[in-house]
Structure 1
């Protein structure tokens, strides 16, 4: 009853790592962050569905399950098929329970972090919060509404135009609700470990999107590049920077800053118009992964439905 195609959604996520990295470098940031998030969510759903479907053939050997489905015979008959179906059902059930436990714990942890960030944001007056701290740091604090938090140390490290860039960058994180994108990919990584490889390219795409928004706000890509670079250097020179930053906060000083600065100055691969093939290949690879996983899950569900109808027909 169990076919090889049923296992495809469990193995396809291992193929997304190279495609995800290329996508973040060759696609415009906003498009990259949406496609990476959709891919992570879709593959996580397909792999979870595959585990659930793999449990059913072996579970029908239990009388209670067979009676519930009005089955006269289990979906897998014959000695070898029976042993394989039961072994697969036990393994799939254990994996599904493990993933569910991790997902619940991860969702609770994320919710707790968001509530904590929301309380901190609600306690602040105004959108911009200046902390009296000599250690340079700045970040976007999501909430209703969100806040831009910056320390006095960071303000001293930057010139007035560079401060404007930094604040515009963090405002872009809040306006585009980037913390929701990171939440989806983080939770998808708890459903399937291979999807954790999408966190890094997504983080890069989110920071690049905020970089572009800041550059549009101040009207200068060179100024934006200089501000991001100086802020990152100031933050990394201080060992205490980011120590009290909430877990859901997003910061302009995160991620591969040299790559981001190069992209702003026109030297990044995503700014080149001579590499459309790499861009299309990355997009097609991720779309193909989604299509294969979704198609395999639907095929498995259809096969299972046909098998149940056959077993029910025998019962009649």
Structure 2
């Protein structure tokens, strides 16, 4: 199955309808569910059939191989709406920042002008003092009083504007921090996302500290979505996310994509990490999940995991790929288990 085949012509007509039909054909040929995430992936792929995503898919599907949900999660793809929303928010913050900078420039220019005016007043007052000398003490006092009052008024005005500008800058800084955090956080579970996980791995590697990486995948998750719907599937993912965070304190737990989670064990040897991870697995498996609307049991929910120690100087792709292969081994061994290596 190649991208060229997925993008084959469907006849003349409305381009939007043609794209829609190509998306349907792609999903059907790949035996992918027509859910929003897969539809968004297909849209990105077929909207730019010569782009980097299309080339990556062509390489994966060469020889008739079908894509899996793991492939789609690994390739990564935001829906057009969410991507547009993120861009709009970023653009808004950039515009706010630009306005703030321009506001500071205007304020500084105004203060400079006022300072120049105050300097002229002082020079005029000095000239008056030299002209009047001691013969006009009353006029001299009045002039000094006027200059002092003008100075105080301008200082108070500048302080007020500086205070306002400082407050606006602080609010903007908070918004920028929030946007930066949101870009590294999964909106469903609240966990760090793939980007944050890879950045944390790089930071840990730069420090030369030892670490282990685990990849966890919910067993038979597609069956949960098929039987109970995606809303229930989302609640299951949030529940498992909470269990992983509680069972792996002081470790970075991230939602890596789809039903896949990743854990970075910093400063822990592989045996300690395995014990912690297996405890998390047992905790999740021991829960009895039910539909909140009907109290109907969902059945057993479990996850499988692959765990590996990161060697010094080893790249993220190498260590993560090894953990992923161990995860597949756990799946083949019957699921609901941890494989370390």
Q: TM-score, structure 1 length as denominator? A: 0.25
Structure (1/2) with the larger strand percentage: 2
Structure showing greater Rg: 2
Q: TM-score, structure 2 length as denominator? A: 0.24
Bigger relative contact order, structure 1 or 2 (CA pairs below 8 A, ≥6 apart): 1
Structure (1/2) with the larger helix percentage: 1
